[in-house]
Amino acid sequence: MSIREEDLFQVRKLEMSDKSKGFLEILQQLTVCNPFTDEEFDARFQDISSYGEDHVICVIEDKESKKIVATGSVFLEKKFLRNCGKVGHIEDVVVDSSARGLKLGQKVVEFLTNHAKAMGCYKVILDCSVENKGFYEKCGFKQKEIQMAMYFN
């Protein structure tokens, strides 16, 4: 029995067992990500889990290949301004190069955006390259400001 496409690519939260399903390899398509040991993965997983709904990492697992083919994260920042408002920060959205064109990126962004909204955020923001601006506009975002960065050695 084959799996229907809508069931094949469902977004869910990251699980401990995803470290053996290609989660690292997906992140490596985004930026520098040296292999981590099981202990390092577990420790960071626990770190992030301790924030509960305030820091959520989601993945899409290809139910046939059992591989992670997309991921993204959102964390909630609690402010005093905007009536003690909350802001969702989306980070590290990436889709496996073999799974482009299936709108998995949009599914991930929608999942993260819906989470921020459900948790009471007044807005959700993210930083992206100029090349990815069109993608995020299709997801309902608008360009706002510029991002500045300082790297430590």
As a residue count, the chain comes to: 153
Task: Examine residue 48 and tell whether it contacts a second copy (CB under 8 A).
Answer: yes
The smaller minimum CB distance to a second copy, of residues 2 and 52, is found at: 52
Query: What is the rounded distance in angstroms from the CA atom of residue 64 to the CA atom of residue 121?
Result: 35
* Contacts of 120 by beta carbon, 8 Å cutoff, 6+ apart: 86
- Cβ of 43: how many Cβ atoms within 10 Å? 12
Task: Examine residue 110 and tell whether it contacts a second copy (CB under 8 A).
Answer: no
Classify residue 139 by its DSSP letter.
Answer: T
Site string for a second copy, 79-108 (x = CB under 8 A): xxxxxx----x-xx----------------
**Residue 7 C-beta: closest distance to a second copy, Å:** 27
Query: What is the rounded distance in angstroms from the CA atom of residue 69 to the CA atom of residue 119?
Result: 26
Binding-site ranges for a second copy (CB under 8 A): 23-24, 27, 30-34, 36, 40-41, 43-44, 47-48, 55, 57, 73, 75, 77-84, 89, 91-92, 113, 116-117, 121-130, 133, 136-137, 139-152
